[in-house]
Structure 1
Amino acid sequence: MARTTKPLTNTEVKQAKPKDKVYTLSDGGGLQLRVKPNGSKFWLFDYHRPYTKQRTCLSFGSFPDISLADARHNRDTSRELLAKNIDPKEYRDEENRINEAAHSNTLEHIAEKWLEVKKANVSADHATDTWRSLELHIFPSLGKVPIHKITAIKTIDIINPIAAKGNLETVKRLCQRLNEIMVYAVNTGLIASNPLAGIGKANQNPIKKHLPTLKPEQLPALLKTLAFASIKTTTRCVIEWQLHTMVRPSEAAGAQWNEIDFENNVWDIPAERMKSKKPHKVPLSDQALNLLELMKPISSHSKYIFPSNSDIKKHTNSSTANMALKRMGFENKLVAHGLRSIASTTLNEEGFDPDVIEAALAHTGKNEVRNAYNRALYLERRKPMMQWWSDHIEKAATGNMSLAGQKGLKVVSQ
């Protein structure tokens, strides 16, 4: 007849005294209390490994940190695993590894990985802006939190103060970016579902505002103000360059000398610098070429046409034009991006083909084949349009100093 082990009592466990040598007290089912000469007590589970049948022990921890009831629960769980041919020690080690990995995958760490993927589809400036917004508003509170512990409640608590200040556009962007990070975490198997899917509904949507710009008839006033503004030559040139070429502020600020095809008078902007991630060609008017001639003595020894004032190895900041326009009195009236709107409105009013204008603005539709065809087709048609636009700018500067005039700096007269 099999020998029956009498279960231990709490009193027996508590009062077990140390001896000269290590000894064990058995509770049955493989559970043992090991008592050492120094008085410490440890719970052990004695079992045979599945398949190999090799005898081994699994530690459950020390008493009284692990009570008799806790030890019995761990023993029962281990026996259930053994019934399924699962080694409880290997199972615990794997659980610990998964848990440790989960805790090392913080929101900030996963956001870094997500942004590396996202960079392939956005401009460098957009990626920088994205990271800065997270650094400023999210990471101080949630950056070190494991991503599997991020909850909607915690996140909304962080975002609500931003919304209370009226920065609803910032709230919208943060919610979008956090959701993209969470979707990335789901797609890479780090979490089972996105806990932030609905946080955008926790605050009201921002009222859509168009970027400040001027009406076409206000172009002469802009050029007059620009002519007498106390700004650096590089800053004024980059504003005029953007106005003549109709590109975005970041594309203008980052212009490089090696992108200019002087033989064909075309500016080749590589895909990685474009918002659409598609290469863009800009036919250069006589006035645009004059701006380049003006910049050569200033920046020909630099990689960039419009270098930074503090470091010639870097290009001027994409916000430089905005800051200059603000100082010139155009705050809430015009931003650098609005220069494109002046061009678009003027050219549309003059009856130029809307498709050609859209091509000049590097706006693309969803049909990639049509986009590629249009880029090739409209380049030649854009050349006279771009020259007309530059001539129009020069005429609008009548009586003022024009850097892009036919002979460089001159007073434009009728």
Structure 2
Amino acid sequence: LCGNRPINTASAKWSDIDLNNGIWTIKATEMKAKSEHKIPLSSYALKVLKEQRIFSANSEFVFPADTIAGHLHRDSISKAIRNLGGKDKYNGRATSHGFRATFRTVCSLHKAELLQMGISEEAIESILAHKEYNPVKFSYEREKATMEQKHKLLEWYGEYLNSIEPLF
């Protein structure tokens, strides 16, 4: 629902999530590209987080675990996916990082619809927190997309997923 890398999801902290304003801010030190990443939370992501709040009790982490780190290991997400519906049922077919590819693919397949909504390629890339490696383009680019564009995109994606398999 957020297009994050598995490590950012597994190590998510409640202190970084503003449920009232619907924004998740991941610190630069926790991002692959080493720049702060703000994620507008769709109504679907907010529902999941509010439900998870009940289960995580007073932990600082959204997905706590009895580990040295105190949170779910990033590989635990892929293991859970592999074992959905039976041991190794999806082994070699689905991974947690693959959800990012799914997000990107779905956006590409619906590019015309998204463009009509005012959602550009840059908004999609911004959600994925992809860094611009062209030094000239990077030097002139201050922001890839507005929070409003990103919120609209993630809300659309939540609705798309919910049309396939209702969350609640």
Work out whether the TM-score is over 0.5: yes
Any stretches of 5+ residues in structure 2 without a counterpart?
115-119
Note the 1:120-269 alignment, pairs <5 A.
244-269=1-26
Q: How many Å apart are 1:311 and its aligned residue? A: 4.6
- After superposition, the C-alpha distances for 1:301-349 in whole angstroms (9 at most, x for unaligned) are 01101001x2597010010111112223111111110001111111121
Note the 1:264-279 alignment, pairs <5 A.
264-279=21-36
Q: Which amino acid letter does the alignment assign opposite residue 4 of structure 2? A: V
Q: How many Å apart are 1:264 and its aligned residue? A: 2.0
2:142 pairs with 360, 367, 372, which one?
A: 372
1:357 pairs with 124, 132, 140, which one?
A: 124
Counting aligned pairs with the same residue, the percent is: 26
Find the aligned partners of 1:278 and 1:300 in 2 and give their Cα distance. Answer: 30
2:81 pairs with 312, 317, 325, which one?
A: 325
More strand per residue? 1
Q: Which amino acid letter does the alignment assign opposite residue 388 of structure 1? A: W
Find the aligned partners of 1:303 and 1:296 in 2 and give their Cα distance. Answer: 10
Query: Cα 1:343–1:380, aligned 2, differ >3 Å: closer, same or farther?
Result: same
Query: Cα 1:269–1:294, aligned 2, differ >3 Å: closer, same or farther?
Result: same
Any stretches of 5+ residues in structure 1 without a counterpart?
1-243, 406-414
Find the aligned partners of 2:21 and 2:99 in 1 and give their Cα distance. Answer: 25
Find the aligned partners of 1:313 and 1:303 in 2 and give their Cα distance. Answer: 11
Q: For residue 330 of structure 1, give the secondary structure of its aligned residue in structure 2.
A: coil
Find the aligned partners of 2:57 and 2:23 in 1 and give their Cα distance. Answer: 18
Higher radius of gyration, 1 or 2: 1
The equivalent residue for 1:346 is: 106
Could you list the structure 1 runs, at least 4 aligned residues long, displaced by more than 6 angstroms after superposition: none
Contact preservation (8 Å) 1:255, 1:306: yes
**CA RMSD after TM alignment:** 1.7
Query: Cα 1:370–1:291, aligned 2, differ >3 Å: closer, same or farther?
Result: farther
Query: Cα 1:306–1:292, aligned 2, differ >3 Å: closer, same or farther?
Result: same
- After superposition, the C-alpha distances for 1:77-109 in whole angstroms (9 at most, x for unaligned) are xxxxxxxxxxxxxxxxxxxxxxxxxxxxxxxxx
The equivalent residue for 1:394 is: 162
Note the 1:398-409 alignment, pairs <5 A.
398=166, 402=167, 405=168
The equivalent residue for 1:16 is: none
Number of residues of Structure 1 aligned to a counterpart in Structure 2: 154
